[in-house]
Amino acid sequence: MLQDSIPYFDAHAHAQFLPYDADRGQMLQRARAAGVKMITVGTQHSTSAAGVKLAEEYPDDVWAAVGFHPAHVAEDWHHDKNEQRAPEPEAFDPGKLRELARYPKVVAIGECGLDYFRIPDNGTGTKEKQKDLFRAQIELAREAGKPLMVHCRAAFGDLIEMLVRHPSSGILSPGVIHFFSGTADDARRLLDLGYSFTFGGVITFARDYDEVIKLMPLDRILSETDAPYVAPAPYRGKRNEPAYVIEVVKKLAELKQLSVDEMKARIWQNARHVFNLSS
């Protein structure tokens, strides 16, 4: 395969979110012009369904992940205006998620996992609710034969314990830890469980992740944007978008002492393996 025909890959974006409503077509065209393919990730039923629809509209460039974010089960739920206009949270409906998971363009279940950073327990049972929600989506991933798209923040001990007790089983990989923010020890334990890791724009302006990336095997690394959030340098402070994943790949290449073309090709190979992509 010629290097020019190998795409950049954004393993975790939210191209269906509200900030792109005015120019979504142009944003996706910029990604295509930059040679970027992507997974657009759901955070509840409405955004998951919108992601599936977008993936079907752009079958050559976009795949979808469907899931329910752990932050949505808290009593003091945080309304993210990038995500939805209405301030009312959706209730988790496993049947609706199961229906979406059957679509051919859906290549992962998530984002799902645990998040203790923004929403501490405070005696409300939030942590147990998050665990129940995550357990249900692990089961759905096993049923669908698709990898997990895992969100974890300030909860790696509990997350790893759950993944040991309730292993996922995608066809080729258990899944990815999106926007990895754990320790080197967390990374080693998750590597032992078969997980891969996505890194985003923060690595272009913070040095906190350098050592973890350097120790990470090349066959477990993927790039992401988490667009519209956390734009990389030189776009920091602006709305992020999938075309900017190139800056993340450049930084990964620097840290792994590879050329950008070599890093790009390795990430695409990893993405095809983890998500069982056919093209």
What is the pLDDT confidence band of residue 37, given thresholds at 50, 70 and 90? very high
Round the average pLDDT of the chain to a whole number and report it. 94
Annotated domain spans of the chain: 3-275
What is the pLDDT confidence band of residue 21, given thresholds at 50, 70 and 90? very high
Give the list of residues 6+ apart from residue 142 with CB closer than 8 angstroms, or none: 168, 169
Measure Cα distances from 160 to 23, 108, 176, 177 in Å. Answer: 39, 19, 13, 11
Whether the predicted pLDDT of 1 surpasses 50: no
* 263, 256 contact by CB (below 8 A): yes
At 199-213, the pLDDT tens digits run 999 999 999 999 999
Residue 260 has a pLDDT of 98
Residue 86 has a pLDDT of 77
Residue 274 has a pLDDT of 97
> Minimal CA–CA distance to 149: which of 14, 2, 25, 255?
14
What is the pLDDT confidence band of residue 119, given thresholds at 50, 70 and 90? low
At 168-198, the pLDDT tens digits run 877 789 999 999 999 999 999 999 999 999 9
Residue 12 has a pLDDT of 98
What is the pLDDT confidence band of residue 76, given thresholds at 50, 70 and 90? low
Evaluated on CA atoms 189, 190, 193, 199, the torsion sign reads negative
Measure Cα distances from 157 to 114, 115, 163, 213 in Å. Answer: 10, 11, 10, 20
Average pLDDT over residues 88-107: 94
Secondary structure percentages of the chain, helix, strand, coil, to 5: 45, 15, 40
The H or E element that residue 108 is part of is strand 106-115
Question: Domain 3-275: what homologous superfamily?
Answer: Metal-dependent hydrolases (3.20.20.140)
Whether the predicted pLDDT of 81 surpasses 90: no
At 224-240, the pLDDT tens digits run 999 999 999 999 999 99
What is the pLDDT confidence band of residue 77, given thresholds at 50, 70 and 90? low
